[in-house]
């Protein structure tokens, strides 16, 4: 199903306004919205059955019950970059009963730039949920995303992450970085990622990162149907200490068919020029954070 960017952005705005308190403080788990399970697919049995060892194969839908943060203090350099980022909506850092003020945004998604990792784990578009497929492929694990139809390679052949990027003799930074993985025990898959392109945000609120950031994801299969994910960030140039960015859950589907959810650049440009700019929503002057 083809999604027009106007529909995606308007629906995204509605979702973000309704969830502003959650994205600002992340203190309470989010209720599971409808639509996670394709019609006709059997629901999880009770009990769900044990987790298979060293196996994440299949489709997972989520995120469910996401908790973000708490965030540490930022360094002056990090705060300076953060203050330049204008998320949608700006009201995301206000109290839920405060007047909603949708300021101009420079969210990279509005011009269809890649969301990158870890932001893509939030399955950003429309409903804040989507699908991820884990698929072993020889000496690597592939992660295939429903949202934006992108994929990641997580190498499991013992290679090392690049010590630096964007320097003479070093590789270029990437929107999804360079990732290596290993199993910790029977049911936890650990992914370490470095070399991230600094143009991406790590969350919906516009928190930035440097090219020297290090991410660690821990994907723990709790049972046959439930997967817990945590993401920690270590980026000493922008944050005063390492911190847990995200903790969330995904639900296993044996036979899940995903929709095509894309941000189409030509449609984003049309939306920006015909609707966003006249309404004052396109990038421009906006209140400071």
Q: Which residue has the higher pLDDT, 8 or 38?
A: 38
Q: How far is CA 239 from the centre of its chain?
A: 19
- Distance CA(266)–CA(5), nearest Å, equals 9
The reported pTM is 0.80
87, 105 Cβ separation under 8 angstroms: yes
- Distance CA(13)–CA(5), nearest Å, equals 12
Predicted confidence (pLDDT) per residue in 171-183, tens digit: 999 999 999 999 9
Kindly list the structural domains of the chain, giving each domain's residue range(s) and its CATH number in brackets, ordered by start.
5-38+55-279 (2.40.128.20)
Query: Residue 157 region, left (φ>0) first, then alpha (ψ -120 to 50), else beta?
Result: alpha
Average pLDDT value for residue range 247-262: 81
Please tell me whether residue 180 adopts helix, strand or coil conformation: strand
- Low-confidence winner among 62-71, 150-159, 266-275 (lowest mean pLDDT): 266-275
User: C-alpha distances in angstroms, 153 versus 26, 179, 234?
Assistant: 29, 7, 21
- Distance CA(100)–CA(254), nearest Å, equals 41
- Distance CA(76)–CA(202), nearest Å, equals 18
- Distance CA(132)–CA(251), nearest Å, equals 10
**Most confident by average pLDDT, 62-66, 92-96, 174-178:** 174-178
107, 88 Cβ separation under 8 angstroms: yes
Predicted confidence (pLDDT) per residue in 30-57, tens digit: 344 455 565 666 678 888 899 999 999 9
41, 254 Cβ separation under 8 angstroms: yes
| Per-residue pLDDT at 34 | 53
Cis peptide before 186 (omega within 30 of 0): no
């Amino acid at each position: 199903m083809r999604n027009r960017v106007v529909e995606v952005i308007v629906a995204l705005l509605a979702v973000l306004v309704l969830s502003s308190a959650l994205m600002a403080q992340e203190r309470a788990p989010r209720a599971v919205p409808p639509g996670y399970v394709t019609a006709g697919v059997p629901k999880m049995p009770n009990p769900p059955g044990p987790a298979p060892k060293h196996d994440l194969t299949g489709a997972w839908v989520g995120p469910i019950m996401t908790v973000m943060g708490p965030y540490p203090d930022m360094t002056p350099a990090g705060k300076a970059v953060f203050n330049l980022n204008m998320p949608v909506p700006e009201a995301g850092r206000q109290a839920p009963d405060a007047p909603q003020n949708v300021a101009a945004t420079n969210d990279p998604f509005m011009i269809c730039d890649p969301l990158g990792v870890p932001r893509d784990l939030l399955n950003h578009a429309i409903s804040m949920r989507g699908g991820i497929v884990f698929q072993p492929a020889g000496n690597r694990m592939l992660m295939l995303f429903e949202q934006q139809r992108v994929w990641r390679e997580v190498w499991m052949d013992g290679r090392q992450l690049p010590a630096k990027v964007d320097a003479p003799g070093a590789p270029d930074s990437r929107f999804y970085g360079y990732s290596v993985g290993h199993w910790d025990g029977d049911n936890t898959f650990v992914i370490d990622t470095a070399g991230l392109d600094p143009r991406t945000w790590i969350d919906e609120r516009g928190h930035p990162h440097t090219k020297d950031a290090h991410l660690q994801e821990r994907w723990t299969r709790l049972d046959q149907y439930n997967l817990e994910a945590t993401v920690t960030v270590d980026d000493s140039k922008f944050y005063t200490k390492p911190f847990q960015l995200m903790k969330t859950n995904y639900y296993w589907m044996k036979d899940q068919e995903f929709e095509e959810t894309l941000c189409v650049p030509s449609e984003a440009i049309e939306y920006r020029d015909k609707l966003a700019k006249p309404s004052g929503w396109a990038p421009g002057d906006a209140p400071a954070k």
